[in-house]
Structure formats: structure tokens, C-alpha cells
Amino acid sequence: MAGAGLEEFRRRWREELAQREGPAKRRLPAGPEWDERRRRRQRGNGEGPAGAAREPEPVSQWGICGAVRAAPEGAPAQPAPAATGYFELAKSLLEGGECPLASPAPWTAGESSCSGRGRDSEVSQVPEAPQPENTGGDRLLEQLIRDLNEINEIPFFDIQLPYELALKIFQYLGRTELGRCAQVSRMWKVLAEDEVLWYRLCQQEGYLPDTSISDCSCWKLVFQESRAKEHTLRTNWKNRNGAVSQLQYEFGNVLCDVHSCDGVVIAGYTSGDVRLWDTRTWDFTAPILEPMHGAAEPGSQPHVSFVRINNSLAVAAYEDGTVNVWSLMIGRDPVHCYQHNLKIQALALSLEGATIATASGSEVRVECPNDKGYWETAAHFEIQKLVNFLHLIPDTGRHPVAVAATEDVVYLLKAENPSRVLHSVYGQPVTCLDVSSKEAAFGVKSLGWMNEGNKILLYSLQTSQCLTTLGSSLGDFTCVNLRNSPPHLLVTGNKDRRVRVYDLRSSTSSCSLYAHQLGVSAVQMDDWKIVSGGEEGLVCVWDQRMGNKLWEMHARHPVRHIWFNTHSLITANIPDEKSPRGASILDDDLTAHRRHRGIIYAYEFSMDQLALESILPICRSSYDEVAGYNYNIGLAVPYDNI
């Protein structure tokens, strides 16, 4: 709607409102422009200046530019339809209809136009339409006045754009550009602070992803608060400000395997016990998940070989080939259990859902519940060699797909198709493996006289073709992380004590860090930091862009598990020797063998942690504890008995 047309519409609206409250007779529009139009109509009808003034035409007979629509020649004048007025026009506007002042009307033959010669044609006398009843009420009037006062045209240099079109253009701008545009003019400020724009920015940055646009009244303020919180968390990460806690281990038992998902940690011990911690509450306890081995004597349960956990399930595999599955929503008793004849070599659990894959000997078995909730074997594969690595591909729906790596062959296992060889080169064993929803990355070791160096191969799971070859190092690649890495990046750890970040678009190394003394055993990265663990027990946090080490933490055993998100970090030092020589697990003196059992650390970097909680639990022990390895930070020397 043009500016002049909008003002004319408002004036005529106020005039009709005044007419409804005043005399029943309509007043003629005033102004020089309307006087000129009346003189033209009088001349066209043969009336002089002294002629009698006609009654104004009803609303339904007005054209786009204020002219009166003429009836066709020879046709009788048609009366205007009843109940036609500005209240009906307002209702149509509120319901999403087009305004007749904004859109051109279809002109027929004989009708007059604002710019044609039809202005001098004769105008038929049409009786005035009856005034509509006041059915809209005050609510309709207030809503229409508010809509008329809104800005519906935005100046873009030398043109005027509708508000919706200008908003569409502004959706391609970032937060910095929106801030600059808000300083141009008042209209641009209103447009740049529109809730739709800032809601989209919050969703793109990952702030409050499960909310709708109606949940908050000011999304720009939400965005600013989220950015400030993110900046505080990054500062705490860099300066190691936060709370650190040691997850209490099982007394007298050695840690076998650790896994975590969204702050929930699962650990298996040589006693056969499986424990859970929820580090998100920070006052967590460690419940023990009951196995399904039957009534057995204490200490006769087999060791735990592997543990895995996701948002709904916890899985543990034992040395005797037993696999127990617990539901995190039900309780401590297993919901499913099955048995392999041989020792389990690998265990995999889907990130979401309830799909489990286990490898024992040359057998790979995939278990998942059916439509009725009963667990069943979804697929069974026979592989010629022992499986060393096993992963389930995420986001595959009801048909699970697994990737298994043996000594020098990588298989793609689908439930509806037989096993397919993804990669096979004799004399080049696979040293590490990781998969995403579309790709698989694994390290290969070169042997023989044609040693081209150890490399990382990236394969497409859709086409089974090699996409790129990364690196050429003398040491073996011991770990690779593709699933948790940012897009187009991949991080690896090597026995040559270096952590390397590769750009998948250029197939080159973008960052190389000299990290550890005995090789890298675990690694993970995000958009700005890298966390690596070594065989010597050192955990290092790096700034990826600067390439420098922020801080480190040392423990006795190799780092086998690393997981972190924006505000927390979980590391696990797992000993290689499960039964150390000269150490009796049944000894009552726990001080002598604490160094053999492994340790789990949980770091919390959120800003709502107290300063006291940043002290290790071993330094926060109370005076009523009699264990010899406990210390109190208020004492100068350790105590044995108080």
C-alpha cells in the first residue's frame, strides 16, 4: 500500500466512524483535491458550479484512486450490496484478504479509470448502501488501528519493500550484520530486532533447540545471555576453573572398562560389578546393576570385558560370553540377556535406540527389540577372522548396519544383505576405526619393503569407495575420532606422540601437536579445543586454533576413555594389568593396592559451582574416616586414625 493511499484510507475510516456516531447523512470529503474532482464530475454531467450537490457515492463504488466506477452504457444502475462498509473491509483484512486499495481492481468495458479518458464519462447515480451494523466491536477497531500503525514498508535505498520481503532478506544476515543494520534508521532497527530473526539465530547456534518461537518474549536477550554463558564456560575451560571429582571405585577390584553418554558414566570391574554415575546432578550415587548370572557365590562372577551406554540402555559383556542389557528407565535388573560360546572380542551400542552388536570369535550378532518389544536376533554374520573393532552406523532406521574390522579386512554388515568387503589389503592391518552416518575412517599400517607410511583411509558407506587418503607417518595410528568431530574435520592420535587434525576437503593436516611421551591412546575435539589422553596417563587440553596446550592432568594408568561437552569432561585411566603381581585382591589393606585399580575423573566447568567443590574428594574427607589413604586439606600431614 502506497503512502498516499494509506493516509487516504485512514482519513476515510475516521470519517465513517464519525458518521456512525454523528448524523446519519454522510459528509462530503473536504480538500482541494476533492473539490477539483467534484467540479470535473459536475462538468461531465452537464451541471454548472451552481448545480445542486450530489450525495457521495457509497463505499463499494469507490475505485482505487478515489474515482467513482461508472456503470456500463445503457445498463441500469445496480444498487450496492447490503452490509458493505469499512467494518466488512476490516474483517477481510484481519482474515488475510487483500485490501482493494492496495490491489488493482478488474476494470471492464465502459468503466472509468484513474489514468484513462474514462474520467469524463457519465457517472450513474447509485443509491447509497445501508450502513452495516456494529458487529466488529471495540476489539475489531483497536486491532485494525494497530495494524494500520505498523510499519509495512521498509526503505531500501531508492525503493520501498514490503515488510515480509525485507524480513526475508535480513534472514541471511548474522548477528554482527544485524547489529550494524539496526543503526541505520528507526525502520531498519525495528526490522533488525524482529523476533523471527533472533529465534533463527538461536536455533543455528544451538541455543534452546527444543523450544518454539512463542516460548520467549525477547529472543535477542536470550541470544545475548547464551553467548555470555558460552564465553564464561570457555574461560573456565582455558583456566581450569571448576569442580573436579573422582568417581568412587569399587573397593578391592580393578577397573576394566568405562563408557559415558551425556554425563552418565558406566564402569565395569574385575569383580563382575557394573556401576552407574549421573554426573549431571553432582550429588550422584553409584548404583550397582544386578547381573543375570544366577545364584553364584561371592567373587565367582567373571570379569567385565566391555561396557556401553546410551540415553536409554546400558550393556555389559563378560569374559564368559554373557551379555546383559539394562534399561535406564526401569531398574537394576536386566531386561535382556544372551550368551556367546566364546569370549567377546568387541561390543557396540547404537547412539539412539536399542540396537546391540557383539563379536565373538568369527561370529557377529545383532540384537534389537521387535515391534512388540520382545528382544530378538536381527542379524547374524560369519566372518573368517577375529573381529578387533565393531561399530554401529547411526541413523539407519529399523535396519541396523554395522562396520567390523578384522586383521586386514573391513566389512560392511547389513541385516538384509550378506557381508560386503569395504577394504582389504593383505599385509596392511587395521589399527583403529570410527564411523559416522555416511563415512567410515580407519587407520592402516604399512609393512614390507614397500612401506609407504601409515595412513588414514576415509570410505563412503553409500558407494563403498575410498574418498581420500590422509597422512603418511612412521608411527601407527592408535585412535581416530570422526563421529564427534566438527564438519569436514577429523582428529587422530599416533604412536609417534602426535595429535593431528585433518581437513577432509583438502586432505591435508591443519594442525599437529606434540602431545605425549608414550603415544596417544584417546582423543576428541570440537570447534575450538582438543582433549587427548596418552599411554603414560596424561590428559592434555589444547587450543586448536592457537596450537598451544592450555593445561594437563596426570594419573598413573593409560587414558582409555575421554568424553566432553560444553561444560563437563570425563576421563578414565584403566590399567592394562587386571591382576597385578604381588597384589592380593582380598587383602584388607587397601592402601597398598590403590595404585593398581584405575581411576575416573569428572570435571565440571559450569559457572554455578562453588569454590569448595573444586577440591578433590581425597582432600575433602571428614575426620570420622579411618582409611589410611584419605587426607584432609586442613591438616599439614596425612592421618591414619583420628
- CATH number of the domain to which 349 belongs: 2.130.10.10
The model's pLDDT over 272-323, given as tens digits with 9 standing for 90+, comes to 889 999 888 765 666 778 887 554 445 567 899 999 999 999 999 999 999 9
482 located within any domain: yes
Range scoring the smallest mean pLDDT among 12-16, 213-217, 234-238, 384-388: 12-16
Report whether pLDDT(421) > 50.
yes
Predicted confidence at residue 194, as pLDDT, reads 93
Predicted confidence at residue 140, as pLDDT, reads 66
28 located within any domain: no
**Which residues face 423 on adjacent strands?**
410
389 and 421 within one domain: yes
Report which DSSP code applies to 384: S
614 located within any domain: yes
Report whether pLDDT(389) > 60.
yes
Residue 24's CB is within 10 A of a number of other CB atoms, namely 7
Judged by phi (left if over 0) then psi (alpha if -120 to 50, else beta), residue 282 lies in: left
Strands in 401-537 per DSSP E: 401-405, 409-414, 420-424, 430-435, 439-444, 454-460, 466-473, 477-481, 489-494, 498-503, 508-514, 520-525, 529-534
Report CA 483 to chain centroid distance, whole Å.
Answer: 15
Predicted confidence at residue 613, as pLDDT, reads 47
Can you tell me which residue has the cell 594442525? 511
Share above pLDDT 90 across residues of the chain, in percent, rounded to a whole number: 44
- How would DSSP label each residue in 46-82? T--TTSPPPPPPPGGGB-TTSPBPPPPTTPPPPPPPT
Predicted confidence at residue 424, as pLDDT, reads 92
Report whether pLDDT(615) > 60.
no
Helices (H), 467-577: none
Q: Are 209 and 203 in contact (CB under 8 A)?
A: yes
- Residues 38, 39, 40, 41: is their CA dihedral positive or negative? positive
Report whether pLDDT(599) > 60.
yes
Report whether pLDDT(340) > 90.
yes
285 and 216 within one domain: no
The model's pLDDT over 113-142, given as tens digits with 9 standing for 90+, comes to 444 444 344 434 444 444 444 545 566 666
Which three three-digit cell numbers place residue 375?
A: 528382544
Range scoring the smallest mean pLDDT among 285-294, 370-379, 561-570: 285-294
Which three three-digit cell numbers place residue 80?
A: 450496492
Predicted confidence at residue 118, as pLDDT, reads 43
414 and 452 within one domain: yes
Can you tell me which residue has the cell 558406566? 266
- What does the mean pLDDT of the chain come to? 77
Confidence band, pLDDT 50/70/90 cuts, at residue 161: confident
Q: Are 543 and 529 in contact (CB under 8 A)?
A: yes
Predicted confidence at residue 530, as pLDDT, reads 96
Confidence band, pLDDT 50/70/90 cuts, at residue 562: very high
Predicted confidence at residue 14, as pLDDT, reads 78
Confidence band, pLDDT 50/70/90 cuts, at residue 417: confident
- Highest-confidence range of 287-301, 416-430, 527-541, by mean pLDDT? 527-541
Predicted confidence at residue 619, as pLDDT, reads 54
Predicted confidence at residue 405, as pLDDT, reads 95
Predicted confidence at residue 57, as pLDDT, reads 45
Residue finishing a domain among 239, 267, 298:
239
331 and 296 within one domain: yes
CA pair distance 629, 613, nearest whole angstrom = 20
CA pair distance 47, 28, nearest whole angstrom = 18
Residue finishing a domain among 182, 215, 239:
239
CA angle 108, 114, 116 (to 5 degrees): 70
Share above pLDDT 70 across residues of the chain, in percent, rounded to a whole number: 67
640 located within any domain: no
Predicted confidence at residue 59, as pLDDT, reads 41
CA pair distance 88, 475, nearest whole angstrom = 81
The structural domain count of the chain equals 2
- How would DSSP label each residue in 296-330? --TT-SPPEEEEEE-SSEEEEEETTSEEEEEETTT
77 located within any domain: no
Report whether pLDDT(472) > 80.
yes
Report whether pLDDT(475) > 80.
yes
347 and 227 within one domain: no
Query: Quick check: helix, strand or coil at residue 18?
Result: helix
Which is nearest to 344 in space by CA: 305, 377, 314, 375? 305
Predicted confidence at residue 579, as pLDDT, reads 75
391 located within any domain: yes
150 located within any domain: no
Sequence-ordered list of residues with C-beta below 8 angstroms from that of 279, at least 6 positions apart, any chain? 245, 247, 263, 264, 265, 568, 570, 602, 604
Q: What is the pTM of this model?
A: 0.69
Write the burial class of residue 554 (CB in 10 Å: 0-12 exposed, 13-18 middle, 19+ buried). exposed
CA pair distance 486, 342, nearest whole angstrom = 38
Predicted confidence at residue 159, as pLDDT, reads 76
Backbone angles phi, psi at 397, to 5 degrees: 75, -145
Report whether pLDDT(29) > 80.
no
634 located within any domain: no
Stronger pLDDT, 275 or 397, i.e. the higher one: 275
327 and 301 within one domain: yes
Q: Are 570 and 561 in contact (CB under 8 A)?
A: yes
The model's pLDDT over 344-369, given as tens digits with 9 standing for 90+, comes to 999 999 998 899 999 998 899 999 99
Strands 498-503 and 489-494: antiparallel
Confidence band, pLDDT 50/70/90 cuts, at residue 43: low
Residue finishing a domain among 176, 210, 239:
239
Predicted confidence at residue 209, as pLDDT, reads 84
Q: Which domain holds residue 229?
A: 163-239
493 and 463 within one domain: yes
606 and 554 within one domain: yes
498-505: average pLDDT: 95
Report whether pLDDT(387) > 90.
yes
Alpha-carbon radius of gyration of the chain: 38
The model's pLDDT over 454-471, given as tens digits with 9 standing for 90+, comes to 999 999 999 999 999 998
Q: Are 124 and 74 in contact (CB under 8 A)?
A: no
CA pair distance 539, 625, nearest whole angstrom = 30
Q: Are 110 and 72 in contact (CB under 8 A)?
A: yes
341 and 193 within one domain: no
Predicted confidence at residue 395, as pLDDT, reads 79
CA pair distance 38, 68, nearest whole angstrom = 11
Give the domain CATH number at 167: 1.20.1280.50
470 and 541 within one domain: yes
Predicted confidence at residue 344, as pLDDT, reads 94
Q: Are 410 and 432 in contact (CB under 8 A)?
A: no
233 and 329 within one domain: no
- Rounded (10°) angle between helices 86-94 and 137-149: 70
489 and 395 within one domain: yes
